[in-house]
């Protein structure tokens, strides 16, 4: 929109897609918000697609699903 404000539909879509905090991200990825430390670990040691809004770790569900699909395509490259 020309005045810089997002449409109500876009705002609703973003609100539904956005995960706020490691607890929500862990709940989405692992089904258990208590695994938030794993989210922090992955954010530091891999290319987990997260970002910060101030001090809060955030992610988009849609981006995480795309990232998981890319990881599946790459496959596991360890072992014999």
pLDDT one digit per residue (tens) for the chain, 80 residues: 456 566 777 667 888 999 999 999 999 999 999 999 999 999 999 889 999 999 999 999 999 999 999 989 888 665 44
Specify the 3-state DSSP secondary structure of 52.
Answer: strand
Measured CA to CA, the distance from residue 3 to residue 29 in angstroms comes to: 36
Measured CA to CA, the distance from residue 59 to residue 25 in angstroms comes to: 7
Measured CA to CA, the distance from residue 67 to residue 49 in angstroms comes to: 7
11-31 tens-digit pLDDT? 678 889 999 999 999 999 999
pTM for the model stands at 0.78
The structure tokens 């995480």 sit at: 64
55 neighbors 63 (Cβ within 8 angstroms): no
């Amino acid at each position: 929109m020309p005045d810089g404000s997002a449409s109500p539909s876009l705002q609703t879509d973003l609100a539904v897609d956005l995960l706020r905090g490691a607890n929500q991200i862990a709940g989405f990825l692992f089904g258990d918000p208590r695994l938030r430390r794993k989210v922090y670990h992955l954010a530091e040691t891999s290319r987990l697609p997260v970002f910060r809004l101030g001090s809060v770790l955030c992610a988009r569900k849609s981006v995480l699903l795309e990232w998981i699909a890319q990881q599946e395509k790459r496959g596991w490259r360890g072992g014999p």
